[in-house]
Amino acid sequence: MMLQADEVSLLAALGGVLREAGARAVRPSHVQAKAHQDWVTDVDLAVDAFLAEALGRLLPGVPVLSEERAAQEEGPCEAWWVVDPIDGTGNLIAGLPLFGISVALVDAEGPRLAAVLGLPGGGLHAARRGAAPGGTDSPCACPERPRTLVGLSTGLIE
């Protein structure tokens, strides 16, 4: 595979890129509907542009596929970045503190490494294939018995 960078170092660098991108995640001044209950803001576009440039510097020649724009590349790729510049745009628009920035490096075997920056607050969660989240080699602990009640709501009301 063309990706020769040390994955631990690459994951650390990706964390830095996400923190820089997070500084651009401010209250939006322009909102546009993409589809029913699906929006894009000036913040989505600014973070997307920053990520495209920064990830291009991090791994030159690896295309960046984003939720906010059409793919520019044609033909097969050995690896590519998959980006959601603002994951939770509806919450950002509503002023709710539940959104983030999601980035993954994907190859033919699936996700190779990924990171999510929770905003506001900047909690960074990262993982790489074959290692526990955070880039360590220790296994993740899962509860023996899952919780019996889980509630999830998008909060979308028309």
Q: Tell me, what DSSP letter sits at residue 119?
A: E
Q: Which residue has the higher pLDDT, 81 or 71?
A: 81
Count of structural domains within the chain: 1
pLDDT of residue 1: 39
Domain presence at residue 81: yes
Confidence band of 135 (pLDDT split at 50, 70, 90): very low
Q: Are 97 and 88 in contact (CB under 8 A)?
A: no
The label of the residue with tokens 């589809």 reads 35
Domain presence at residue 47: yes
- pTM for the model stands at 0.81
What's the CATH number where 51 sits? 3.30.540.10
- Let me know the angle formed at the C-alpha of 24 by 117 and 47, rounded to the nearest 5 degrees: 75
Domain presence at residue 140: no
Domain presence at residue 12: yes
Average model confidence (pLDDT) across the chain: 83
Q: Are 35 and 90 in contact (CB under 8 A)?
A: no
Ligand-binding annotation for 84, yes or no, is yes
Domain presence at residue 84: yes
Ligand-binding annotation for 38, yes or no, is no
pLDDT of residue 142: 56
Ligand-binding annotation for 44, yes or no, is no
Residue among 85, 77, 83, 68 nearest 114 (CA): 83
Domain presence at residue 97: yes
Q: Is the pLDDT of residue 2 over 50?
A: no
Domain presence at residue 18: yes
pLDDT of residue 52: 96
Q: Which residue has the higher pLDDT, 76 or 62?
A: 62
Q: Which residue has the higher pLDDT, 137 or 69?
A: 69
Residue among 3, 22, 9, 20 nearest 111 (CA): 3
pLDDT tens digit sequence for 24-64 = 999 999 999 887 777 899 999 999 999 999 999 999 999 99
Domain presence at residue 114: yes
Residue-range definition of the domain harbouring residue 12: 7-128
Query: Distance (Å, rounded) from C-alpha 52 to C-alpha 20?
Result: 13
Query: Distance (Å, rounded) from C-alpha 48 to C-alpha 90?
Result: 16
